[in-house]
Amino acid sequence: MNTTETYFPRHKGISVSFSTLPIHRADETTGTPLKNQHGFTLVEMLVAILLMTVGIFALVGMQTVSMNANSISMKLSVATSLAQEVLEDIVSWRPNDSRLTTAGPQTYDLDPKPTATSITIQGAGTYSATYITTAGPTDGTVRVTVTVTGGDRSVTITGLKRTV
């Protein structure tokens, strides 16, 4: 159905024609109405949005777990590095060093400042170290056990030191 209306009243003779659009879409070549071309329903869209939201929340949850695991790993790595450093330092002491024969746990000074024995590492926490020397498996050796505590973790490593 074509109609003609004048949209420009000041300019006589200019008119626009338009036709009404069909209610249902039809195939352009045959003119037959298309079937099952109704698009997505509101319920289908809501279900799709719900599924995407659940997926996004799962990804956010995994990201949080991953960040927490990385933090724990970093703190454990720092404690392990400090324990290895302390053990290497003790092993480098002179064989007749009196600190090797002291009984019981001894505090190891991690901080280069004379006022503290613990050290604070930004992002990892505050760490302190102790060591114990006991008789080694053979004469002329001591077993050195180093424990570093901090960052909600504790690491213990053991090594041998020659005392002769």
Work out the pLDDT band at 103, boundaries 50, 70, 90: confident
CB 117 within 8 A of CB 109: yes
> Does 23 have pLDDT greater than 90?
no
Cβ within 8 Å of residue 31, ≥6 positions away: none
Work out the pLDDT band at 47, boundaries 50, 70, 90: very high
> Does 83 have pLDDT greater than 80?
yes
CA distance linking residue 144 with residue 139, whole number of Å: 14
Would you state the structure tokens that stand for residue 40, as one six-digit string?
């997505």
CB 146 within 8 A of CB 157: yes
Work out the pLDDT band at 111, boundaries 50, 70, 90: confident
Q: In which element (H, E) is residue 161 found?
A: strand 153-162
pLDDT of residue 35: 66
pLDDT of residue 39: 72
Q: What's the rounded mean pLDDT across residues 49-76? A: 93
pLDDT of residue 26: 66
CA distance linking residue 115 with residue 1, whole number of Å: 96
pLDDT of residue 153: 85
pLDDT of residue 154: 93
> Does 70 have pLDDT greater than 80?
yes
**Among residues 142, 22, 126, 132, which one has the least CA distance to residue 82?**
126
Q: In which element (H, E) is residue 44 found?
A: helix 42-91
> Does 65 have pLDDT greater than 70?
yes
Work out the pLDDT band at 62, boundaries 50, 70, 90: very high
HSE, side-chain direction, 13 A CA sphere, residue 14: 5
pLDDT of residue 36: 62
